[in-house]
Amino acid sequence: MTSAGGGLTLLQTCVLSLLVFTGASQFALVGALAAGGNPFTAAAGAFFLGVRNAFYGLRLSQLLALPRAVRPAAAQWVIDETTAVALAQPTRRSARIGFTVTGLTLYVLWNLTTLLGALGAGAIGDTDAWGLDAAGPAVFLALLAPMLKTTLERAVAGLAVFLGLGLLPVLPAGVPVLVAALAAPIALYGAGRRATRNPVDADEAPDEAPKEER
Question: What digits encode the pLDDT tens for the residues 148-200?
Answer: 888 888 888 888 888 878 887 787 766 777 788 788 888 888 888 888 877 65
Count Cα neighbours of 38 within 13 Å in the Cβ-side half-sphere: 8
- State residue 87's pLDDT score: 93
Residue-range domain boundaries for the chain: 2-132, 148-198
Spatial contact of 114 and 2, defined as CB atoms under 8 Å apart:
no
Q: Which whole number is the average pLDDT over 115-139? A: 65
**SS3 state of residue 201:** coil
Q: What is the mean pLDDT of residues 53-65?
A: 91
Which pLDDT band, with edges at 50, 70 and 90, does 134 fall under?
A: low
Pairs from 118-121 (Cβ < 8 Å, separation ≥ 24): 118/1, 118/3, 118/4, 118/10, 118/13, 118/14, 119/10, 120/1, 121/1, 121/3, 121/4, 121/5
pTM: 0.60
User: N- to C-terminal Cα distance for the chain?
Assistant: 73
